[in-house]
Amino acid sequence: MRVNRRVVATVAAVLAVALAAAACDDTGSSADRPATSLVPVTTAPTAPAPDCGNAVASFAPLNPMPEPGDMPAGTYMATIQQRGRLVAAVSADTLLFGYFNPLTGQLEGFDIDLVREVSRAIFGDPNRVEYKVVTYAQRIPSLLDGSVDIVADVMTVNCERWGQISFSSQYFDAGQKILVRKDSDVTDISQLNGERMCAARGSTNIDELEKYPEIVVVPVDDISDCMVLFQQGAVDSVTGDDTVLAGFVAQDPYTKVVGGALTSEPYGLGVAKTHPEFVGFVNGVLEDIRDSGRWAAMYRTWLAPDGGPVPPPPVAVYGRTP
């Protein structure tokens, strides 16, 4: 993936400050996390994922969509409206998708813009959002305990997760790859047997490594912790979604992403299973974003170089029933 170098130039020079600022946030961020473990783990096979049909199929969008400020009584949107703010779980250190920009003092990125659009659709104001910074492993629990309304944090849609939460229609298509040093001869994950590879707990990336038992997996709480360990020489490689790794390469010119995609990682916005009408509402928002050209504008802002091509948004798939 190519990235917007103007955004990277602005942010990369102050990334350490950004991470420190995010760690001081009172929304459950890295300041409250235990120290990163450097103890490699042996991954054990997990039970097969439940069959949910087409994993990216979601609930049909609401039709008609309610007007901002006039959410239907008895719906979860009305609860959010009455509260006066949308509570969203996001990342503060995923460059270009959800990160804290110390120059503006704001969370910014593709995922943040999506949350702002949901807020706009509920309140007529994109700024009525309370952000809670979470790790990958905290994303689903934050929905299960009701502490957030929505998760917008490069989260892959799959059948196993459908068993716990609900998802919007797909809004982005990513793939898992590996990051190594720029002078490395590695071109494929099969060449990393016996070496240390970092991955984030609670991610589909670390689950995928069960297929590679000869790799020494080093788990961390947040994918940004992997980059720290990599730069310290504590791990030999990092695996994650190509969207995230592209941000790392932009920050560190001595790294590169190699090999083909190990997986397909369709991103969706997470919502609690108890609120299917809210999923339909979010899908209506995403439909409008796609049709109006705002998805393309967001992509151009965060992910495309000046004048570079902008792909079409993923095609929404519906048909799932609550």
Residue 289 located in a structural domain: yes
Q: Per residue in 107-162, pLDDT tens?
A: 999 999 999 999 999 999 999 999 999 999 999 999 999 999 999 999 999 999 99
Residue 31 located in a structural domain: no
Residues 148 and 160 in one domain: yes
Residues 160 and 249 in one domain: no
Residues 97 and 245 in one domain: no
Residue 61 has pLDDT above 90, yes or no: yes
Q: Per residue in 161-216, pLDDT tens?
A: 999 999 999 999 999 999 999 999 999 999 999 999 999 999 999 999 999 999 99
Residues 117 and 73 in one domain: yes
Residue 66 located in a structural domain: yes
Residue 141 located in a structural domain: yes
Q: Exposed, middle or buried by CB within 10 Å (0-12, 13-18, 19+), for 301? A: middle
Residue 19 located in a structural domain: no
Say whether 89 sits in a helix, a strand or coil.
Answer: strand
Residues 122 and 197 in one domain: no
Q: What is the pLDDT of residue 49?
A: 54
Residues 187 and 301 in one domain: no
Answer yes or no: are the C-beta atoms of 77 and 70 closer than 8 Å. Answer: no
On the question of a cis peptide bond just before residue 64, with omega within 30 degrees of 0, the verdict is: yes
Residues 255 and 289 in one domain: no
CA dihedral angle for residue 299, residue 109, residue 245, residue 214, rounded to 10 degrees: -120
For position 74, which CATH number holds?
3.40.190.10
Q: How far is it, in rounded angstroms, from Cα 162 to Cα 211?
A: 22
Residue 317 located in a structural domain: no
Residue 92 located in a structural domain: yes
Residue 25 located in a structural domain: no
Residues 220 and 276 in one domain: no
Q: What is the pLDDT of residue 11?
A: 46
Residue 50 has pLDDT above 70, yes or no: no
Residues 271 and 161 in one domain: yes
Residues 202 and 258 in one domain: yes
Nearest Cα neighbor of 155 from 243, 224, 64, 73 is: 243
Residues 63 and 125 in one domain: yes
Domain that holds residue 149: 57-172+267-310
> What is the domain count for the chain?
2
Residues 92 and 200 in one domain: no
